[in-house]
């Protein structure tokens, strides 16, 4: 029963919203079933003569008859009247310009006129001007009274002007146009200005495309009522009209301020109000909030039972309909306005509970927040510790501990840096801090908290073999103490990739001094300086081969791994591929590692690593150091180091002694 009542109220409200004719007058004509006052089918039923709808008989081609509503004093068909939006929908004409293939016009209505009056301007928001065709112009022209747009009652001929606007549609073949768009190819459109009345349409063809576009068209159409198709270049000639929306208002160039006297205003309902037209002269009427119906009739605005058709009250409240609004009554024990858009209904309690409940809620919320943060930071710290432990294992920490334990007493203590220290030292590993990149990682320049400049080697993400290489380099360097070998300061295993910290060598590599033609480094290295560098590197290699408790073979001796400090003192670096040789063995079988060009051919073929492999690589370095000044003794020494068979090469200590002898002779 309740549902039936609601449906009846909704239907009644819908009928009222459509508007009513003047009492005793017809409200329909043919298919136009809703003719609200101020419109009517006779002068007695209308506001004035401009609102009289012509209801005439129309004859079909098959001989049938029907009633058709026409625009006042014209033959423009009316299809709909909106009282709420103050709009009229009519059938608007089409201007067309058609040709035969021989350029002769056969259907030319290139200019058509749509006659309304000043109270029914074309809606600028609801219509557009459209032109269709290839090389086609569509234009509109209309008189505009600028004073009327401003609701100025002091009209003069000087305030009347002409509005002209148009668009150009271009295309040379049908393939160029795109369905659904009027962007200028086959179809163009523009908006309509305010105040357009009695407009003229023009269509003109600039070039004959009668093979695929025999006609060009121009028309005003309601927004959304037309969608362009390439077929319209041919088939639109079958269309006679398009829907056009007109705005309407009442009053003879009057505003609401001028008709506030109820005896002269068209707003006859006492529950109505006036508002000014925004397009053309006159004013409009509407029902007040909470009412609906026809504001132009006495008692035309009727109260809406908003309790049944709108959800204005909260569920606890009881809704009571009033004239023009509602009242929502909260149940006993509650306070508030009961409105869904207001305070609603709130339980009414004593002052203690009023403060205690919010206070208790806030304290519980605060305790929960603190507890949640404590748990969050605890879990985050635990996760961080587990991550550091994971990285420590992943980066060979256990292997390093084992190696340090095995070589205890022969290895200097290695400083363990934190990840945060090295991140700060390298400015978060900024690219501007990169010194170079090697086969196993990238080297960054860094500054520690004590302003000490260091070189930080960041290994690449590595597999098990690369982890062993990293740990091996650390063990090798920690047991070496020689002025011509780069000193290892410490390491960091807390990060995803392992890090090594070396002393910083300022003057670059020997390779760059020999081969970099962009600098003057080549000329800076005199023969005596080159010989000194060769002697220092030879001494470092001899120390590694013969003077450490366990012999060390570098395996990658080359000029790029020889660094020079500010005094041009040579330093051997990059021990990532170095191997320790047990004292009771003279050779070791390994995977072949090294740099092509420096690699010992005997080692490359046999995989048997001996100290003579370093001798071969050092021989290549000596060849690089040779200048245009061919020194026979050094050249002979280099050729001995480069002999194919390792057993025919001299020992590194013999090479050092020979270079020192040559150096002394040069100085003397």
Do residues 561 and 636 share a domain?
A: yes
Provide long-range contacts, Cβ within 8 A and 24+ apart, for 633-638: 633/658, 633/662, 634/531, 634/534, 634/659, 634/662, 637/662
* The two structure tokens encoding residue 574: 């990059």
Identify the H or E element spanning 467: helix 464-478
Quick check: helix, strand or coil at residue 527? helix
Q: Which of 97, 216, 232, 556 is catalytic?
A: 556
Q: Containing H/E element for 524?
A: helix 521-524
Residue 187 banded pLDDT, cuts 50, 70, 90: very high
The alpha carbon torsion through 551, 555, 558, 560 (nearest 10 deg) reads: -100
Q: Are residues 122 and 165 in the same domain?
A: yes
Q: Cβ distance 445 to 436 under 8 Å?
A: no
Are 238 and 291 members of one domain? no
Find the helix or strand (DSSP H, E) in which 368 lies. Answer: helix 351-394
User: At a CB cut-off of 8 Å and minimum separation 6, what does 263 contact?
Assistant: none
The residue out of 280, 315, 348 marking a domain boundary is 348
| Domain containing residue 72 | 19-82
Determine the average pLDDT of the residues in 205-233: 89
Closest CA to 484 of 565, 555, 558: 565
Shared domain check, 522 and 656: yes
Q: Which position has the higher pLDDT, 411 or 547?
A: 547
Residue 1 lies inside a defined structural domain of this protein: no
Task: Kindly state whether residues 549 and 646 are assigned to the same domain.
Answer: yes
DSSP state letters, 211-253: TTB-EEEEEEEETTS----TTHHHHGGG---EEEEEE--BSSS
Output the DSSP codes for 33-50: ----TT-BSSSTTSSSGG
Q: Measure the CA–CA gap between 214 and 44, rounded to whole angstroms.
A: 49
Residue 8: inside a domain = no
pLDDT at 192: 92
Closest CA to 594 of 620, 569, 563: 620
Q: Is the per-residue pLDDT at 87 higher than 90?
A: yes
- pLDDT bracket for residue 284 (50, 70, 90): very high
pLDDT value of residue 413: 63
- 111's enclosing H/E stretch is strand 111-114
Six-digit token string for 352: 């203690």
Does any domain span residue 178? yes
Is 458 marked as binding a ligand? yes
The answer to which of 28-32, 191-195, 577-581 has the lowest mean pLDDT is 577-581
* Residue 599 forms part of a structural domain: yes
Q: Is the pLDDT of residue 483 over 60?
A: yes
Which of 451, 482, 503 is the endpoint of a domain? Answer: 503
- Burial label for 321, CB within 10 Å (0-12, 13-18, 19+), is middle
User: Do 208 and 227 share a structural domain?
Assistant: yes
How do strand 415-416 and strand 488-492 relate by DSSP bridges? parallel
The mean pLDDT value for 173-179 works out to 89
Nearest-angstrom CA–CA distance, 203 and 169: 11
**Rounded Cα distance, 123 and 248, in Å:** 9
Residue 10: is its pLDDT beyond 60? no
What is the average per-residue pLDDT within 509-516? 82
Which pLDDT score, from 0 to 100, does residue 313 have? Answer: 87
Longest dimension (CA), the chain: 137
Q: 165 and 310 in one domain?
A: no
Give the pLDDT band of residue 473 (cuts 50, 70, 90).
Answer: low
- 532 with 401, same domain: the answer is no
Q: Are residues 515 and 630 in the same domain?
A: yes
The DSSP element (H or E) to which 3 belongs, if any, is: helix 2-18
Boundary (domain end) residue, out of 34, 53, 82: 82
Provide CB contacts within 8 A for 667, sequence distance 6+: 528
- What the block records as the tokens of 114 is 């749509």
- Where b means 16+ CB within 10 Å and e means fewer, 206-223 reads eebbbeebbbbbbbbbbe
State how far the Cα of 280 lies from the Cα of 151, in Å rounded to an integer. 7
Task: Check whether 593 has a pLDDT greater than 70.
Answer: no
Number of structural domains (the chain) is 7
Which CATH number do you get for residue 453? 3.30.200.20
Q: Which of 59, 57, 61, 60 is nearest to 69 (CA)?
A: 57
- Residue 211 is a catalytic residue: no
- One domain for residues 370 and 435: no
CATH of the domain at 657: 1.10.510.10
Whether 582 shows a pLDDT value over 60: the answer reads no
In this structure, are 284 and 426 located in the same domain?
A: no
Say whether both 277 and 312 belong to one domain.
no
pTM higher than 0.95, yes or no? no
In a domain, 485, yes or no: yes
Q: What is the pLDDT of residues 27-86, one digit of tens each?
A: 899 889 899 999 999 999 999 888 999 998 876 666 667 889 998 777 889 999 999 999
Distance CA 230, CA 577 (A): 74
- Among residues 46, 37, 247, 276, which one has the least CA distance to residue 153? 276
- For Cα atoms 16, 18, 23, give the angle at the middle one, nearest 5 degrees: 65
For residue 215, is it within any domain? yes
pLDDT range class, residue 229, cuts 50, 70, 90: very high
Q: Give a yes or no: residue 446 inside a domain.
A: yes
User: Is 13 inside any structural domain?
Assistant: no
Residue 270's domain is classified under what CATH number? Answer: 2.10.25
């Amino acid at each position: 029963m309740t549902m039936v009542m609601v449906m009846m109220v909704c239907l009644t409200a819908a009928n009222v919203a459509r508007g009513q004719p003047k009492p005793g007058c017809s409200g329909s004509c043919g298919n136009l079933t809703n003719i609200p006052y101020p419109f009517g089918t006779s002068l007695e039923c209308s506001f004035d003569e401009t609102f009289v709808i012509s209801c005439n008989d129309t004859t079909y081609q098959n001989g049938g008859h029907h009633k058709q509503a026409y625009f006042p004093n014209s033959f423009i068909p009316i299809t709909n009247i909106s009282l709420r939006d103050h709009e009229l929908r009519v059938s608007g004409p089409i201007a067309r310009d058609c040709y035969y293939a021989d350029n002769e016009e056969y259907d030319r209505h290139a200019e058509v006129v749509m006659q309304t009056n000043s109270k029914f301007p074309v809606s600028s928001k609801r219509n557009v001007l459209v032109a269709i065709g290839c090389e086609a112009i569509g234009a509109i022209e209309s008189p505009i009274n600028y004073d009327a747009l401003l609701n100025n009652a002091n009209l003069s001929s000087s305030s009347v002007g002409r509005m002209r606007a148009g668009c150009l549609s271009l295309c040379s073949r049908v393939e160029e146009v795109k369905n659904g768009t009027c962007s200028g190819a086959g179809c163009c459109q523009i908006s309509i200005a305010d105040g357009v009345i009695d407009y003229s349409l023009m269509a003109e063809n600039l070039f004959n495309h009668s093979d695929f576009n025999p006609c060009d068209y121009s028309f005003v159409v309601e927004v959304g009522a037309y969608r362009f198709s390439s077929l319209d270049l041919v088939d639109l000639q079958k269309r006679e009209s398009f829907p056009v929306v007109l705005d309407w208002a009442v009053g003879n160039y009057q505003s609401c301020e001028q008709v506030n006297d109820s005896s002269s205003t068209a707003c006859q309902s006492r529950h109505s109000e006036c508002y000014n037209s925004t397009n053309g002269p006159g004013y409009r009427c509407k029902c007040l909030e909470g009412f609906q119906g026809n504001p132009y009739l006495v008692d035309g605005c009727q109260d809406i039972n908003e309790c049944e058709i709108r959800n204005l009250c909260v569920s606890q409240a009881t809704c009571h309909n009033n004239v023009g609004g509602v009242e929502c009554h909260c149940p006993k024990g509650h306070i508030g306005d009961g409105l869904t858009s207001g305070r609603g209904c709130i339980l009414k309690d004593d002052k203690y509970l009023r403060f205690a409940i919010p206070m208790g809620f806030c304290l519980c919320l605060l305790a929960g927040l603190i507890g949640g943060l404590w748990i969050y930071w605890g879990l985050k710290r635990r996760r961080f510790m587990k991550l550091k432990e994971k990285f420590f294992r992943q980066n060979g920490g256990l292997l390093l501990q084992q190696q340090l334990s095995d070589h205890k007493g022969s290895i200097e203590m290695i400083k363990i840096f934190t990840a945060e220290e090295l991140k700060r030292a390298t400015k978060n590993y900024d690219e501007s801090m990169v010194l170079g990149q090697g086969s196993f990682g990238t080297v960054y320049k860094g500054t520690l908290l004590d302003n000490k400049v260091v070189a930080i080697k960041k290994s690449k993400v590595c597999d098990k073999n690369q982890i062993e290489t990293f740990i091996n380099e650390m063990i090798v360097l920690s047991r070496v103490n020689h002025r011509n070998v780069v000193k290892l300061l410490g390491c960091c295993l807390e990060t995803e990739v392992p890090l090594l910290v070396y002393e910083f060598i300022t003057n670059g590599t020997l390779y760059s001094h020999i081969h970099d033609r962009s600098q003057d480094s080549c000329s800076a290295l005199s023969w005596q300086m080159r010989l000194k560098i060769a002697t220092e590197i030879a001494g470092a290699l001899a120390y590694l081969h013969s003077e450490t408790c366990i012999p060390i073979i570098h395996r990658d001796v080359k000029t790029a791994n020889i660094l020079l400090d500010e005094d041009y003192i040579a330093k051997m670096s990059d021990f990532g591929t170095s191997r320790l040789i047990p004292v009771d063995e003279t050779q070791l079988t390994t995977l072949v590692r090294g740099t092509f060009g420096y690699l010992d051919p005997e080692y490359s073929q046999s995989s048997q690593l001996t100290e003579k492999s370093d001798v071969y690589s050092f021989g290549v370095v000596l060849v690089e150091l040779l200048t245009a000044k061919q020194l026979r003794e050094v050249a002979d020494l280099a050729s001995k180091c480069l002999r194919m068979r390792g057993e025919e090469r001299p020992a590194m200590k013999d090479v050092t002694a020979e270079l020192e002898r040559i150096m002394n002779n040069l100085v003397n």
